Structure 1
């Protein structure tokens, strides 16, 4: 696998949307780690057990910003669901060569049909 980090990010999001778990797995290093407001430094196996979902509920991802600096990439995207729900997240990807070593997720607001939906804690 080779290409610019921006191209790899675009291919990763396309693989998520296509439910192509094998391709997503190939993008991650063996020592991959994932952190979000719900997960703290979980490993690759735990990530796929806990976080991998069938993405047939997603209408599309809009990749709004991709900033690359060295081995780090910030990505802000809007996810649009088929039921009218949408949310915007920012993720920080750390690369090791052409593979992703870690992802840190920062959640944004959620909307349904364009109206803000307050999330419970």
Structure 2
């Protein structure tokens, strides 16, 4: 839910709050994918399609779309729903790159996206 404290002077979701919500969703998706500690490395692209008004419900959908040796690219979509309507539309999208880290704090391999075990090449 977009509460007044999450909004800017236009009464819409502040961009930094949307980024925070989306980074959290990317973190959860990447952690569930590799079951390791992860950190955000890079925000590749962010597109705000429409304003997200105060009082709206938001749904975040995040999925791993690409893997590297220790990195995962996560696409996050933020959907807007009106509180008392079944109307739903895409509010913004972002692509985040997260890296799995081992107990030593260094990057550690993640499984291939196709499920064949750890990816050892670049």
Normalised by the length of structure 2, the TM-score is 0.32
Q: Which has more helix, going by share of residues?
A: 1
Of structures 1 and 2, the one scoring higher in RCO (CA 8 A, sep 6+) is: 2
- Determine which structure has more spread, i.e. the larger CA radius of gyration: 2
Normalised by the length of structure 1, the TM-score is 0.32
Q: Which has more strand, going by share of residues?
A: 1
